[in-house]
Amino acid sequence: MPYLYNTPDDQAAMLAAIGADSIDALFDSIPGELKLDRPLAIPPALGELELEQHIRDLAGRNLNASSSVSFLGGGSYDHFIPAAVDAIASRSEFYTSYTPYQAEVAQGNLQAIFEYQSLITRLTGLDVSNSSLYDGGSATAEAVLMAVDVTKRRGRVVLAASLHPEYRQTIATYLANLGVDVVTVGASSGTVDVAELAAEVNDQTACVVLQHPNFFGCLEDAETMAQVAHDAGAVMIGVFDPISLGLLKRPGDWGADIAVAEGQSLGTSMSYGGPVLGILACKESLVRRLPGRLVGQTTDRRGKDCFVLTMQTREQHIRREKSTSNVCTNQALFALRATAFLSLVGPRGLRDLANLCLQKSHYLAQQLDGTSRFELAFAAPTFKEFVVRDKENAIEALVADAATEGYLAGIPLGGWYPHLADCMLVCVTEKRTKAEIDALVDVLQTGAAKAAADELIQAGI
């Protein structure tokens, strides 16, 4: 049965309305050689039971963090999620509700968002947080638009090459038709050179965007770079890893005016890349240009505490010329998950969690660096991610071989950074055990030995 059932009379009426003789006539403009003159080569229809079994079989071919041991990072991380997070977020009051528009019918959602905002400001050391955005990339791009708007500078935006490459692509897309130049400062040693950054920042610079820890996992000289930006009157945008703030200075404490992050690590599963959570917080002086929604607390006419949508600076609610962006919603369900996660973990738990990531990642880095085949690509200090180089330049094959053994070893970097084609980004979270870490080293060494043997065979030796 077709999904849209149109009778011959329905079809005739529609064709008459648009002045066409037949359905085939609608496609006359397509050259005949491009038209398929046979039925589609698809198998016969399946029953519901057979279809479910087929889909399960297809899904079972995917590698994921449940069926494999994951050392993947680059913005999506395999962190532990307490069962209480799922229990709270799956309640029907939250799980099935839509984004709040009318405050009086969504007090529970509004309170949850208010709590989220409160936790994010405490986490970042900044004054105000919005209700969340789509993901880390869009949050970063929205922060750049804020900076351009606040400073009234359309000359340039300066990005660190160590900023997530997909974030840089998103920013470039947002700015493509706004007449703003995007300048990227290199990070050949794994971190940005302060002198090189200072040479690119001038009185036409709207903002500097720095990720700390950066995409390579390295720690940047964030405070010095923030001072460079401020000396030129530019806005400092800090991209951070929420888990790292258990040990590192908060963005607001090292000089960021706007802080953004991917919030997936706060209680949301990897889910093959999404949906996720965009975090954005800023100084109070910038609040009028904050995109999305802002929930506030007040009292009603009976003197009882209540929550309201204090600000919605989007074009659906105010005059277009006054709107901050066309962002049209917030990730309320995932903000709720982050709220539950942070509440359950607490400051001490976040510190312990960050320390476990630090210690375990450094252990793996030392183990790989101690082999004859691998070496660390950068000497800079790292948090939970690091870049490892294969001296024989067969990183793609090694990653593929490791996957067949049930290990997601890392992310090859050649597609983003051609000069790092022999490298991969490796991440270690608190979930990885010493046995798993040692096993990965063995798997990679075995794969390296196999690759070397294959080369000898192909060479006829």
* Contact in structure between 416 and 398 (CB atoms under 8 Å): no
* Contact in structure between 115 and 261 (CB atoms under 8 Å): no
- Exposed, middle or buried: residue 321 (CB in 10 Å: 0-12, 13-18, 19+)? exposed
Of 133, 197, 194, whose CA–CA distance to 159 is shortest? 197
Handedness of CA 355, 356, 357, 360 (dihedral sign): positive
Whole-number pLDDT of residue 341: 98
* Contact in structure between 142 and 280 (CB atoms under 8 Å): yes
Of 278, 254, 258, whose CA–CA distance to 268 is shortest? 278
| DSSP character string of 218-257 | BPP-HHHHHHHHHHTTPEEEEEE-GGGGGTSPPHHHHT-S
**Considering the entire predicted model, what is its pTM?**
0.87
Which residues of the chain form CATH 3.90.1150.10? 69-77+346-458
* Contact in structure between 206 and 258 (CB atoms under 8 Å): no
Which residues of the chain form CATH 3.40.640.10? 83-342
Phi-psi region of 3 (alpha: psi -120 to 50; beta: other; left: phi over 0): alpha
Pick among 3.40.640.10, 3.40.190.10, 1.10.730.10, 3.30.540.10: CATH of 83-342: 3.40.640.10
CATH number assigned to the domain covering 69-77+346-458? 3.90.1150.10
The residue behind tokens 């799922």 is 86
Contacts of 180 by beta carbon, 8 Å cutoff, 6+ apart: 148, 154, 155, 156, 157, 206
Whole-number pLDDT of residue 334: 94
The residue behind tokens 């401020």 is 230
Whole-number pLDDT of residue 293: 87
Contacts of 363 by beta carbon, 8 Å cutoff, 6+ apart: 428, 434, 437
Of 285, 310, 392, whose CA–CA distance to 103 is shortest? 310
Handedness of CA 22, 26, 29, 34 (dihedral sign): negative
| E strand spans, 263-414 | 278-282, 293-299, 305-312, 374-376, 385-390, 407-408, 411-412
Whole-number pLDDT of residue 345: 97
Whole-number pLDDT of residue 447: 72
Three-point CA angle 380, 385, 387, nearest 5°: 65
Q: How many helices (H) and strands (E) does the chain have?
A: 13, 15
Would you write out the chain's pLDDT as a tens digit for each of its 461 residues? 455 678 889 999 999 999 999 998 999 999 989 998 898 998 889 999 999 999 999 988 888 888 899 999 999 999 999 999 999 999 988 887 766 665 555 788 889 999 999 999 999 999 999 999 999 999 999 999 999 999 999 889 999 999 999 999 999 999 999 999 999 999 999 999 999 999 999 999 999 999 999 999 999 999 999 999 999 999 999 999 999 999 999 999 999 999 999 999 999 999 988 899 999 999 999 998 999 889 999 999 999 999 988 887 665 566 666 667 777 778 889 999 999 999 999 999 999 999 999 999 999 999 999 898 999 999 999 999 999 999 999 999 999 999 999 999 999 999 999 999 999 999 999 999 999 999 999 999 987 666 555 654 565 65
DSSP secondary-structure letter at 56? H
